[in-house]
């Protein structure tokens, strides 16, 4: 049986991922050969690693050994976000990315209007799947609410945080085949990011839930041990991401 694709989220290596001004601190093109050699199947490309890159960097990303499998956009779905949505759509087309990650705001009352804007956004990217990241801090943090919004929307599917959400079974029960992508991270009881191996029992149990639900989607190693704990060491983060990749593959193959 073919194993699911596992991507690396370039946000993992970005020191400014949560900064007030999110200027990139690294050129992802310089890491592409190492990503490929490690066994990743593609990139989930953090928006600013392309939007704030020069033409040479974008060209290097486009012709690299790994595809941009998911374009990770933070463009908002309010009226003010129209220009950024258009810019993100242009980059998705430039990289020929088959999927784009997006978020709803935290306001449930805004969901109907945001859904319509997201559908218009999708129309600018024919054939591209929209992946709605469903997590706390957005109006779709509840699985029933997420299912209500995504049902009957052929271009859109859900991203779940399979190893950290409180009740994965509820997500799979409500969304089932509407779930197409998993953001991979592990946290200890205190909420600190760690390695998948450190939370091995949880990882194996949650993979069982995904398997029982018939999950057939993809994965991104989003964060790993050391992310958000200064001083970050990019080489160490990459090594830990590779360790998580290999551990996840072994668990998926078991």
With b for 16 or more beta-carbon neighbours within 10 A and e for fewer, the 162-197 pattern comes to bbbbeebeebbebbeebbbbbbbbbbeeeeebbbbb
* Averaged pLDDT of the chain: 96
Note the helical H segments in 96-199: 111-123, 143-150, 168-175
Pick the residue with more confidence: 189 or 220?
Answer: 220
131: three-class secondary structure by DSSP: strand
Residue pair 193/186 in contact (Cβ under 8 Å)? The answer is yes
pLDDT for 189 equals 86
pLDDT above 60 for 84: yes
Crossing angle for the helix pair 55-62 and 82-95, to the nearest 10 degrees: 50
180: three-class secondary structure by DSSP: strand
Q: For 224-246, write each residue's pLDDT tens digit.
A: 999 999 999 999 999 999 999 99
pLDDT above 60 for 106: yes
pLDDT for 135 equals 84
pLDDT for 219 equals 98
Q: For 2-15, write each residue's pLDDT tens digit.
A: 789 999 999 999 99
Domain-by-domain residue ranges, the chain? 6-253
pLDDT above 60 for 116: yes
Angstrom distance (rounded) from CA 180 to CA 97: 15
- Backbone φ and ψ for 52, nearest 5 degrees, come out as -105, 15
Which CATH superfamily does the domain covering 6-253 fall into?
Divalent-metal-dependent TIM barrel enzymes (3.20.20.150)
Name residue 81's beta-bridge partners. none
Q: Is the full-model pTM beyond 0.95?
A: yes
Angstrom distance (rounded) from CA 185 to CA 45: 17
pLDDT above 60 for 176: yes
pLDDT above 90 for 44: yes
Q: What is the mean pLDDT of residues 49-63?
A: 97
**What's the length of the chain?**
254
pLDDT for 2 equals 72
Q: What is the mean pLDDT of residues 46-59?
A: 97
Q: For 117-156, write each residue's pLDDT tens digit.
A: 999 999 999 999 999 999 889 999 999 999 999 999 999 9
């Amino acid at each position: 049986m073919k194993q699911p694709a596992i991507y690396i989220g370039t946000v993992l290596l970005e020191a400014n991922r949560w900064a007030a001004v999110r200027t990139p601190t690294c050129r992802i093109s310089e890491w592409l050969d190492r990503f490929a050699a490690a066994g990743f199947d593609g990139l989930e490309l953090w928006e600013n690693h392309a939007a704030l890159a020069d033409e040479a960097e974008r060209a290097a990303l486009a012709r690299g050994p790994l595809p941009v499998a998911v374009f990770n956009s933070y463009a908002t779905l309010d009226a003010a976000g129209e220009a950024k949505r258009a810019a993100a759509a242009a980059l998705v087309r430039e990289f020929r990315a088959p999927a784009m990650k997006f978020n709803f705001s935290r306001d449930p009352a805004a969901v109907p209007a945001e859904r319509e804007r997201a559908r218009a956004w999708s129309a600018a990217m024919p054939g591209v799947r929209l992946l709605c990241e469903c997590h706390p801090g957005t109006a779709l943090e509840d699985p029933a609410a997420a299912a209500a919004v995504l049902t009957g929307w052929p271009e859109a599917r859900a991203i779940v945080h399979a190893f950290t959400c409180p009740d994965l079974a509820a997500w799979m029960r409500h969304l089932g085949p509407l779930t197409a992508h998993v953001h991979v991270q592990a946290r200890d009881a205190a909420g600190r990011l760690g390695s998948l191996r450190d939370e091995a029992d949880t990882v194996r149990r949650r993979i069982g839930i995904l398997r029982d639900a018939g999950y057939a989607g993809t994965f991104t190693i989003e964060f790993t041990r050391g992310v958000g704990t200064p001083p970050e060491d990019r080489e160490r983060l990459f090594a830990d991401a590779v360790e998580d990749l290999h551990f996840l593959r072994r668990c998926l193959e078991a």
